A and B are shown apart, each in its own frame.
Chain A
Amino acid sequence: MRNADRVSAVLLLAGALGFSAVALQSWPYTSPEGPGPAFLPFWLGLGMACLAAMMLTRSLREKNAGEAWWPRGVALRHVLVVLGVTVAFAALIKVLGMILATALFLVVLVRYLGRHSWLLVLSVAAGAAGFDYLVFAYWLRVPFPLGPLGF
C-alpha cells in the first residue's frame, strides 16, 4: 500500500498541476461578470496538488511497507480474465449486436469462473440474454445494436 500511495501521489500531483496549468492557459480566469471559466478548475487543481503532496510526504515517512494489496496467483488471473472478457464483450457489441454479444459473454465467463455443466451455462446465457432483450429492447424500446442475424 505504501508504494502504491507513493506512485498515485506522484501521478495525482502531476495531473493536478497540469489541470491547473491547462485551465489558466485555455480560458479566462476572470470575466466582466466575475470569476471566469478557469477560476474553479485552477483552484481545484491547486487543492488536489496540495492533497497529493500531503499524501506523498506521508507515504515517504512511512517505514512500514504495509500489506500487499495486489492480488496474486488465481485471484490475479480471475480479475484479469473478468476484465478482459468484459472489455471484449463491449468491443463486440457493435459487431455481433447486443444480444448475441451478451450471450457469448455469459457463456465464456460463467463457464470459466464456475466450471458448470454446459447445459447450465447455456441456459443461464440464453435466459439472461432473453431477459435483457425483453426488458430493454422490447419493453423500454432501447435501440440495441443489431447483429448479423438481425437481433
Chain B
Amino acid sequence: MDFLSNLQLGFSVAFTPFNVLMAVVGVMVGMLIGALPGIGPPSGVAMLLPLTFGMDPTSGIIMLAALYAGSMYGGTITAVLINTPGESASVVTCLDGYQMALQGRAGPALGIAAIGSFIAGTVGVVLLMLVSPLLARWALSFGPPETFALMLLGLTTVTLLTGEDALKGYISMVLGLMLAMVGFDIISGQARYGLGIAEMMDGIDFLPVAIGLFGLGEVLAGAEQTGKTEIAKGRYGLRDVLPSAADWARTRWSIVRGTVMGFAVGVLPGAGPTVASFLAYTVEKRVSKTPERFGKGAIEGVAAPEAANNAAATAAMVPMLTLGIPGSATTAIMLGGLMMWGLRPGPLLFEKNPQFVWGLIASQYIANVLLLILSTAFIPLFVRALRVPYSILMPLIIMFCITGAYSLKNSLWDVGQMLIFGVLGYFMKKLGYSPAALVLALVLGPLAERALRQSLIISDSGIGIFFMRPISGVLMALALAAVAVPVARALLNRKSGSDPERQNQ
C-alpha cells in the first residue's frame, strides 16, 4: 500500500525547520486567539491569512491548520477560568468546566481537556489519513450535479446548525450568495452589480468580509461590555494540571466517545466542532450513571466535548481537502486561502499536490504534540494573557483587522470593505443572524453557480438532472430535508399554540 510512502512524504515536508516553526507559531497564536474572548478561530485565520501569501502554500496551511487546532484548546482556558467561551465550540465546556474551577479544580479541568484534545486530535489525524484518499478517489467520479448538490447540502446544514434562528440563518446564507454574484460572471464574462466601480468588478473578496464580520464585528459587540472579567483562582503548575487516577478512570471512555462522535460530525459538510461539542455533551450526560452531577462540575462534561471539538476540527479538513467543501466558517476561509494560493481544492488535490496534502496531514501530528506540551506546561502564560485588559486588547485586534485587510492587495478599498462588513457583523450578531453562513455562502457562491449552470447545460431535463443521478439525488434530498425541518418545526409549533420564535431560540 502506498499509504506509508505518503506518510513518509508528508513527514519529510512537515519536519523541515521552517514548517515546524510555522506549526509552533500556529499553535501558540491559535491558543491565544482561542483564549481571548472576542476573537475566535475564523477571525484568527482570516487575519493571519495575509501573512501566508509570501510563503510556500504548504507552510501557510500548516500554520493555519495548527492555529485552528490550537484555538480549539485555547477556548477551553477561557471557558473554565472566566465562564466565557473563547470560541463557540467551548460553549458547553463552560457548564462543568467553570463549576470545577469554582471548586478549585480548574487545573484538572484544563488538564483533562488537553489530554482529551490530544488523543482526539491524534486519532482524528489517523482517520483523516485513512478516509480522505478513499473519499477523494470516490469523488473523482463526481460531475457538476453532484458537486452542486454537495455544496447545497453544506450550505443548508451549516445554516441549520450554526444559528439560533433558522430563518435568519437562511437569510444570512442567501445574502452571502447574493454578494457572491457581484463581479464578472465566470461563464459569460459579463460584469454584474459592479456599480461602475473598478474594484467591484473583481467581485467581493471574502477575506475583508470575514475579517470585518468576525474580527471588527465581534470587537464592536464586545465594546458594549464595560465590566471587568473575573478569573477563577487556582494553581496551574504542571503537577496541578495532571488529572488524578480517579479522574482518568472516569473520563477514559468519555474521551473515546467524544473522539468518535466529533470525527463523525466533523466530516459532514456544514457541521463543525461546535455542533460536535454539544452532541458529545448530551450523549455523555445520557450514558452517565450519575447524570445529576452534570452542570455541577462533572469532569466527563469537560473531557467529552473537548475531545469532540478537536476531533471535529481535524475531520473538517476531510470535506475541505477531498471535496472542496468546507465544514465550518474557519475551513471556508482556509478554502478561500487555498484558492488564493492557486490550488484547486477537490479530489484532484491529492494527485496533483501530494506534498501539500500529506505535508498538512503529517504536520497535524506535530501540532497535536505541540498542543499537548504547550497546554499542560504553559497554562500560567495563557492565564496571564487573559489578564490583559480589554481596553488594550480591543484596539490591538482592530489594528490587526486593518493591517490584515490592507495587506491582502495593498489596497485601502479592502480596508473600507472590511469596515462596512464590520458594522454589518455587529448588527448581525446583535440581531441573531449568522455571519458564518454568510461567509460560507460567499466562498461557495461562485463555485456553486458554476456547478449549477454547467449541470443545467449538460442536462436535457432541466433541474431533473439533480434528482435523477443517484448520488446527487440523495444529496439533494438531504439538503431539502435540512430546509424542511425548521419549516415543519415552526408549523407544528404554531399548531400546538406555542410561540415559534421562542422554540427556535
Instruction: Point out residues on A near B: beta carbons under 8 Å.
Output: 1, 4-5, 8, 12, 16, 19, 22-23, 26-28, 31, 33-37, 39-41, 44-45, 47-48, 51-52, 54-55, 58, 62, 64, 69-71, 74-76, 78-79, 82-83, 86-87, 89-90, 93-94, 98, 102, 105-106, 109-110, 113-114, 116, 124, 128, 132, 135-136, 140-145
In the complex, what distance in Å separates the CA atom of A51 from the CA atom of B423?
22
Q: Which residues of the other chain, B, contact A90 by a CB distance below 8 angstroms?
A: 402, 412, 415-416, 419
Q: Which residues of the other chain, B, contact A40 by a CB distance below 8 angstroms?
A: 177, 181, 449, 452-453
Any A CB within 8 A of the CB of B54: yes
CB < 8 Å: which of A35, A74, A93, A113 contacts B406? A93
B432's nearest neighbour on chain A, judged by CB, is A1
B225's nearest neighbour on chain A, judged by CB, is A75
In the complex, how many angstroms separate the beta carbon of B487 from the nearest chain A beta carbon? 9
Per CB-CB distance, the 9 closest pairs between chain A and chain B, nearest first, are: A114-B391, A113-B391, A34-B457, A75-B224, A37-B185, A109-B395, A142-B407, A78-B223, A82-B223
Contact A27:B402 (CB < 8 A) given known A40-B449, A47-B174: no
CB < 8 Å: which of A28, A71, A87, A141 contacts B224? A71
Q: Are B431 and A109 in contact (CB under 8 A)?
A: no
Since A51-B167, A79-B426, A142-B403 are in contact, a sample of 4 more A-B pairs with Cβ atoms closer than 8 Å, ordered by chain A residue number, is A19-B178, A37-B185, A64-B499, A132-B403
Q: Are A105 and B399 in contact (CB under 8 A)?
A: yes
List the one stretch of B82-90, B187-195, B294-302, B322-330 in contact with chain A: B187-195
Q: Are A41 and B181 in contact (CB under 8 A)?
A: yes
CB < 8 Å: which of B192, B394, B452 contacts A27? B192
Q: Are B226 and A74 in contact (CB under 8 A)?
A: yes
Q: Are A58 and B224 in contact (CB under 8 A)?
A: no
Q: Which residues of the other chain, B, contact A44 by a CB distance below 8 angstroms?
A: 174, 177-178, 181
In the complex, what distance in Å separates the CA atom of A64 from the CA atom of B395?
38
In the complex, what distance in Å separates the CA atom of A34 from the CA atom of B219?
45
Contact A27:B190 (CB < 8 A) given known A51-B167, A52-B171, A82-B223: yes
Q: Which residues of the other chain, B, contact A76 by a CB distance below 8 angstroms?
A: 224
Most A CB atoms within 10 A — which of B224, B399, B410, B426?
B399
B383-413, CB < 8 A from A: 389-392, 394-396, 398-399, 402-403, 406-407, 410, 412
Any A CB within 8 A of the CB of B430: yes
CB < 8 Å: which of A37, A83, A87 contacts B187? A37
Give 28 CB contacts A-B under 8 Å. A12-B175, A28-B188, A33-B457, A37-B185, A39-B453, A40-B453, A44-B177, A48-B174, A51-B170, A54-B167, A70-B430, A82-B394, A86-B422, A90-B416, A93-B412, A94-B412, A98-B406, A105-B398, A105-B399, A106-B395, A109-B395, A114-B391, A114-B392, A116-B392, A128-B399, A140-B50, A140-B407, A141-B54
Q: Are B395 and A105 in contact (CB under 8 A)?
A: yes
Q: Which residues of the other chain, B, contact A62 by a CB distance below 8 angstroms?
A: 499, 501
Any A CB within 8 A of the CB of B168: yes
In the complex, what distance in Å separates the CA atom of A78 from the CA atom of B193?
35
In the complex, what distance in Å separates the CA atom of A51 from the CA atom of B174?
9
Any A CB within 8 A of the CB of B204: no
A51's nearest neighbour on chain B, judged by CB, is B171
In the complex, what distance in Å separates the CA atom of A126 from the CA atom of B500?
53
Q: Are B54 and A35 in contact (CB under 8 A)?
A: no
In the complex, how many angstroms separate the beta carbon of A16 from the nearest chain B beta carbon? 8
Q: Which residues of the other chain, A, contact B456 by a CB distance below 8 angstroms?
A: 34-35
B389's nearest neighbour on chain A, judged by CB, is A114
Q: Are A8 and B431 in contact (CB under 8 A)?
A: yes
In the complex, how many angstroms separate the beta carbon of B421 from the nearest chain A beta carbon? 13
In the complex, what distance in Å separates the CA atom of A128 from the CA atom of B118?
33
Q: Which residues of the other chain, B, contact A36 by a CB distance below 8 angstroms?
A: 188
CB < 8 Å: which of B193, B399, B431, B499 contacts A1? B431
